[in-house]
């Protein structure tokens, strides 16, 4: 048995909750490409963005120079509700695997939203409130973001309209009910409430919706409602900025015990968790102060990093959102109905895309049956039922730990355990019943949608 001088859970004191967010862009030589106006395909100005987004958030979105943003006191107070989150040493998993590797995970699921999404939800709601808005609109797929935002809005007394992908709305009535408990209105998307919704319904009667479509509806609702703006739970630079609280806190806890990770692993859908977890480590790497292997893990069914192209693309189906330069499978790409709703997005954070393009990080894709095998092993050994999304990171971490077992290397692995799977038991049931399938798109499938990428000449 290993010497257990490091506690199972490293909890920082309340006073050690980060007081600044760290902006990786400040240390990047190649900055992420600017957002483009979907009409003109020219870089968007602040004024254009202001119809959609909150003013302060636009500042954060566009700022490629400021390394540290002070976290407003009100947000710090809210963070105290569920932060600091524990950094856990996975002694039991290590023992089960028989690996010499040391595995740590930063667990962001110990809050009612069930995931890390709350870190940015409260920030975005705060700035909306500060601007004197009545409310905000958003979309949600798996429901974690919608839940987080409903908690933040309830706390600040802001109205919230959520467009929930229809298939999730129907399959996850409990998620919907949690949002209602926090006072949000939840509409299945596509709906007849918006022009874009009606268009999509006319073109695809009986459609069960998609994230890209729900985004379009939420944006339209925001720009056509007095006193509302649109907020988004991933992809955007501002979201990665807020989520840096995960990485800064994790690094503070590791530093307290003099631990330096060799490998940092996170699941990647839009990139909010991974971008947040790696932030301070990537900062050191960008500044040449330290080196880390950083691995993004994505589903084999929606492999934007590993099989997509790096190009400008639409963020939504209705093409009302700004365009971003990112690794993408094409905005028309419909991922197979896998069970990691939060990772079913055709694109990827522009910041992470640039970093990946410049060789600062790696990416792997994993099959969902392998993911659930890892999830169940993790649940039984570590006692936490992980979300399917988070389990992608578990899978990759186990694979790295097993490599260490072969080589005998005592590597230190840090991964992000973004959330819990209490609302994902249908997926676990499918896995238990042997009914879970692996979907892997063919090269042709991907070519079909990437061939249709917009032509951009800057």
The distance of closest approach from Cβ of residue 155 to its own copies in the complex, given in angstroms and rounded to an integer, is 7
Is residue 37 a contact point for its own copies (CB under 8 A)?
A: no
**Among residues 49, 264, 279, 384, the one that binds its own copies under rule CB under 8 A:** 384
Is residue 81 a contact point for its own copies (CB under 8 A)?
A: yes
Locate 58 and state its tokens. Answer: 């636009």
> Judged by CB under 8 A, how many residues of this single chain contact its own copies?
41
Q: Do 218 and 195 contact (CB within 8 A), yes or no?
A: no
Phi, psi of 267 (to 5 degrees): -75, 155
Using the rule CB under 8 A, give the single segment among 105-113, 288-296, 312-320, 344-352 that binds its own copies. Answer: 105-113
Alpha-carbon distance of 147 to 191, in angstroms, equals 20
Using the rule CB under 8 A, give the single segment among 27-35, 49-57, 65-73, 419-427 that binds its own copies. Answer: 419-427
The distance of closest approach from Cβ of residue 392 to its own copies in the complex, given in angstroms and rounded to an integer, is 17
Residue 144 to residues 168, 185, 208, 403, 408: CA-CA distances in angstroms? 11, 15, 19, 33, 39
Using the rule CB under 8 A, give the single segment among 32-40, 160-168, 228-236, 374-382 that binds its own copies. Answer: 374-382
Using the rule CB under 8 A, give the single segment among 60-68, 250-258, 381-389, 404-412 that binds its own copies. Answer: 381-389
Using the rule CB under 8 A, give the single segment among 104-112, 278-286, 353-361, 434-442 that binds its own copies. Answer: 104-112
**Cα–Cα–Cα angle for 44, 50, 54, nearest 5°?**
125
Tell me whether residue 380 or residue 447 sits nearer to its own copies (CB atom). 380
Is residue 226 a contact point for its own copies (CB under 8 A)?
A: no
Is residue 178 a contact point for its own copies (CB under 8 A)?
A: yes
Alpha-carbon distance of 311 to 300, in angstroms, equals 20
**Among residues 2, 30, 170, 174, the one that binds its own copies under rule CB under 8 A:** 174
**Among residues 20, 30, 110, 224, the one that binds its own copies under rule CB under 8 A:** 110
**Among residues 23, 99, 111, 354, the one that binds its own copies under rule CB under 8 A:** 111
The distance of closest approach from Cβ of residue 129 to its own copies in the complex, given in angstroms and rounded to an integer, is 15
Site track for its own copies across 131-160, x = CB under 8 A: --------------------x--xx-----
The distance of closest approach from Cβ of residue 213 to its own copies in the complex, given in angstroms and rounded to an integer, is 25
The distance of closest approach from Cβ of residue 188 to its own copies in the complex, given in angstroms and rounded to an integer, is 16
Residue with tokens 């600017």: 34
**Among residues 98, 206, 359, 383, the one that binds its own copies under rule CB under 8 A:** 383
**Alpha-carbon dihedral angle through residues 52, 56, 57, 63, given to the nearest 10 degrees:** 120
Helix axis angle, 55-62 to 237-256, nearest 10°: 70
Residue 267 to residues 152, 324, 327: CA-CA distances in angstroms? 24, 21, 15
Alpha-carbon distance of 286 to 132, in angstroms, equals 38
Peptide bond into 62 cis (omega under 30): no
Is residue 13 a contact point for its own copies (CB under 8 A)?
A: yes
Is residue 257 a contact point for its own copies (CB under 8 A)?
A: no
Using the rule CB under 8 A, give the single segment among 1-9, 97-105, 345-353, 391-399 that binds its own copies. Answer: 1-9
Tell me whether residue 147 or residue 304 sits nearer to its own copies (CB atom). 147
Residue numbers 427-446 binding its own copies by CB under 8 A: 428-429, 432
Q: Per-residue b/e over 387-417, b at no fewer than 16 CB within 10 Å?
A: bbbbbbbbbbbbbbbeebeeeeeebbbbbbb
Q: Do 278 and 267 contact (CB within 8 A), yes or no?
A: no
Tell me whether residue 385 or residue 396 sits nearer to its own copies (CB atom). 385
**Among residues 128, 385, 387, 393, the one that binds its own copies under rule CB under 8 A:** 385
Q: Do 341 and 335 contact (CB within 8 A), yes or no?
A: no
Is residue 105 a contact point for its own copies (CB under 8 A)?
A: no
Alpha-carbon distance of 280 to 192, in angstroms, equals 44
The distance of closest approach from Cβ of residue 1 to its own copies in the complex, given in angstroms and rounded to an integer, is 10
Tell me whether residue 12 or residue 320 sits nearer to its own copies (CB atom). 12
Locate 362 and state its tokens. Answer: 């790696």
Is residue 354 a contact point for its own copies (CB under 8 A)?
A: no
Is residue 380 a contact point for its own copies (CB under 8 A)?
A: yes
Residue 442 to residues 61, 258, 334: CA-CA distances in angstroms? 35, 45, 13
Alpha-carbon distance of 217 to 52, in angstroms, equals 12
């Amino acid at each position: 048995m290993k010497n257990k001088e490091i506690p199972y859970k490293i909890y920082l004191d309340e006073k050690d909750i980060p007081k600044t967010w760290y902006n990786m862009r400040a240390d990047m030589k190649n900055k992420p490409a600017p957002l483009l106006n979907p009409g003109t395909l020219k870089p968007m100005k602040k004024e254009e963005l202001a119809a959609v987004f909150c003013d302060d958030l636009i500042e954060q979105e566009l700022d490629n120079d400021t390394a540290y943003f002070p976290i407003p006191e009100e947000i710090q107070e809210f963070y105290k509700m569920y932060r600091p989150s524990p950094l856990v040493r996975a002694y039991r998993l290590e023992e089960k695997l028989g690996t010499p590797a040391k595995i740590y995970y930063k667990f962001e699921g110990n809050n009612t939203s069930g995931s890390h999404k709350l870190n940015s939800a409260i920030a975005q709601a705060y700035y909306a409130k500060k601007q004197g808005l009545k409310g905000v609109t958003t979309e949600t797929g798996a429901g974690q973001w919608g839940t987080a935002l409903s908690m933040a809005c309830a706390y600040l007394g802001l109205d919230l309209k959520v467009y929930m992908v229809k298939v999730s709305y129907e399959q996850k009535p409990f998620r919907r009910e949690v949002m209602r408990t926090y006072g949000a209105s939840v509409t299945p998307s596509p709906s007849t409430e918006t022009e874009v919704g009606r268009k999509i319904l006319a073109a695809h009667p009986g459609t069960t919706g998609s994230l890209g479509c729900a985004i379009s509806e939420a944006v339209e609702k925001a720009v056509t409602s007095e006193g509302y703006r649109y907020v988004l739970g991933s992809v955007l630079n501002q979201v990665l900025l807020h989520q840096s609280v995960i990485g800064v806190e994790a690094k503070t806890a590791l530093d307290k015990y003099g631990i330096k990770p060799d490998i940092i692993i996170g699941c990647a859908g839009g990139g909010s968790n991974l971008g947040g977890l790696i932030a301070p480590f990537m900062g050191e790497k960008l500044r040449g102060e330290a080196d880390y292997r950083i691995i993004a893990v994505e589903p084999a069914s929606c492999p934007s990093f590993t099989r997509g192209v790096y190009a400008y693309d639409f963020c939504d189906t209705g093409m009302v959102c700004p365009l971003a330069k990112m690794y993408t499978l094409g905005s028309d790409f419909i991922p197979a109905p896998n069970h990691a709703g939060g990772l079913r997005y055709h694109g990827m954070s522009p910041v992470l895309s640039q970093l990946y393009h410049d060789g600062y990080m790696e990416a792997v894709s994993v099959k969902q049956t392998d993911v659930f095998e890892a999830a169940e092993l993790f649940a039984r050994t570590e006692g936490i039922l992980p979300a399917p999304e988070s389990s992608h990171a578990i899978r990759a971490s186990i694979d790295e730990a097993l490599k260490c077992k072969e080589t005998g290397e005592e590597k230190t692995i840090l991964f992000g355990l973004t959330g819990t799977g209490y609302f994902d038991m249908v997926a676990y049931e499918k896995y238990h019943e042997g009914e879970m399938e692996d979907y892997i798109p063919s090269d042709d499938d991907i070519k079909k949608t990437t061939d249709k990428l917009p032509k951009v000449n800057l």
